[in-house]
Amino acid sequence: MQSFNPPVRTLMGPGPSDIHPRVLAAMARPTIGHLDPEFIGMMDEIKELLKYAFQTENELTMPVSAPGSAGMETCFVNLVEPGDKVIVGINGVFGMRMKENIERFGGEAIVVADDWGTAVTPAKVEEACKNNPDAKIVAFVHAETSTGARSDAQAICKIAQDNGCLTIVDAVTSLGGIELKVDDWGIDAIYSGTQKCLSCVPGISPISFSEKALDVVRNRKTKVPSWFLDLNLVIGYWGGGAKRAYHHTAPVNALYALHESLVMLKEEGLENTWARHAEMHEMFKAGLQEMGMEFVVPEDQRLPELNSVWIPQGFDDAEIRGKLLSEYNLEIGAGLGDFAGKVWRIGLMGDSARKEKVLFCLAALKAVLNK
């Protein structure tokens, strides 16, 4: 067997997005120890940069050493105890995954259902809160990666707070792509991924916990049913202070990459990044409309960074995506779950949200669809 030399693709699916050469170069720097003082200094910088990205002062803001699904699990496994009632908005695959999490940790999921391709309806969440005054948590997905719908995180968190609930927010596809303000909006626990709008390699999940959420973790009646994700332990390594206790071996080089992508985010400025994603979406939308293609999500609930479009009649899903990949080295995403075979998901995230890529993607689509 030989070394693997991947083809050079343009990644415009639901993630991973294209990685900037600076981030790839950072990955390849020499590995040092996970307790090396130089490494610990870099960890502190990552925490500061993540606070900026999340717009929070939360002391517990750090990257989980595993992909976004593990970030989700970190939130639920630490905050949900057997018997806890959790109101969960479901409008796509990742809301469903939240429900799986709640139930696996012994919680009771109160489902607030919305159609795929639409946002979570705040009024329905409010009704669920009123009907379940003993609910402990409200959980929902800010940017539903399976559909491209954007929910009003600020409104839903306000409702949760007014009803005495903690909030768990999935920001896997929103962090760095659209406005997100953890402190202003009163989010208690949030997780994201590195391979979407941060344009870093996949495998790491940034999280942030408010003091209130952390108090709940500290005062659990039962032990967290995970050793690897128990924040009471992880804090000993990622928490403040000069003395870091070994918990697990951090993914050193992946964290170099995350550091570099966050430095680049800071250089561009969060508001500029959000504006770039919005601008690229407008450019893409104009091109799609010229081709007569239609969005799945109503305009006012649409994510700029993840565009779900109906597959035009007469075209075969796999065949077209196959052609784009083999003839154009262009990856776009298939539909998930109910949308499989019906929808394409086209991501304009991070370093893929650039004019040259948007225009290329439009041109390639035009060519394979003979538009």
32 binds a second copy (CB under 8 A): yes
Provide the token pair at 348.
């304009």
327 binds a second copy (CB under 8 A): no
219 binds a second copy (CB under 8 A): no
7 binds a second copy (CB under 8 A): yes
Cα–Cα nearest to 244, from 65, 63, 35: 35
Stretch that binds a second copy, among 6-14, 156-164, 275-283, 358-366 (CB under 8 A): 6-14
Q: Identify whether the C-beta of residue 262 lies closer than 8 Å to the C-beta of residue 51.
A: no
For residues 216, 145, 183 and 263, what is the CA-based torsion angle, rounded to 10 degrees? 110
203 binds a second copy (CB under 8 A): yes
**Among residues 223, 342, 355, 366, which is the contact residue for a second copy, using CB under 8 A?**
223
Please state the closest distance from residue 129 (CB atom) to a second copy, in A: 25
Contact string 283-322 vs a second copy (x = CB under 8 A): ----------------------------------------
**Among residues 209, 273, 331, 349, which is the contact residue for a second copy, using CB under 8 A?**
331
67 binds a second copy (CB under 8 A): yes
Which is closer to a second copy, CB of 246 or CB of 315? Answer: 246
Phi, psi angles (nearest 5°) of residue 147: -130, -25
236 binds a second copy (CB under 8 A): no
Provide the token pair at 260.
């570099």
Please state the closest distance from residue 157 (CB atom) to a second copy, in A: 24
Cα distances from 126 to residues 40, 78, 162, 164, 262, in angstroms, run 43, 24, 9, 12, 35
Which is closer to a second copy, CB of 181 or CB of 266? Answer: 266
Provide the token pair at 84.
């806890």
Q: Which of residues 135-154 bind a second copy (CB under 8 A)?
A: none
Interatomic CA distance for residues 277 and 271, integer angstroms: 10
Residue 300: other Cβ atoms inside 10 A: 7
96 binds a second copy (CB under 8 A): no
Q: Which residues contact 194 (CB under 8 A, 6 or more apart)?
A: 63, 200, 201, 202, 203, 204, 205, 206, 254, 257, 258, 261
341 binds a second copy (CB under 8 A): no
Q: Which of residues 261-290 bind a second copy (CB under 8 A)?
A: 263, 266
Phi, psi angles (nearest 5°) of residue 114: -130, 155
Please state the closest distance from residue 155 (CB atom) to a second copy, in A: 28
Interatomic CA distance for residues 303 and 309, integer angstroms: 12
**Among residues 6, 241, 292, 314, which is the contact residue for a second copy, using CB under 8 A?**
6
Q: Identify whether the C-beta of residue 196 lies closer than 8 Å to the C-beta of residue 53.
A: no
Please state the closest distance from residue 211 (CB atom) to a second copy, in A: 25
**Among residues 85, 97, 150, 276, which is the contact residue for a second copy, using CB under 8 A?**
97
336 binds a second copy (CB under 8 A): yes
Interatomic CA distance for residues 147 and 93, integer angstroms: 8
Please state the closest distance from residue 56 (CB atom) to a second copy, in A: 17
Please state the closest distance from residue 325 (CB atom) to a second copy, in A: 7
220 binds a second copy (CB under 8 A): no
**Among residues 24, 113, 275, 363, which is the contact residue for a second copy, using CB under 8 A?**
24
Q: How far is CA 302 from the centre of its chain?
A: 16
Interatomic CA distance for residues 271 and 332, integer angstroms: 26
Number of residues that bind a second copy (CB under 8 A): 79
Please state the closest distance from residue 300 (CB atom) to a second copy, in A: 29
| Helix 211-218 / helix 68-79 crossing angle, nearest 10 deg | 60
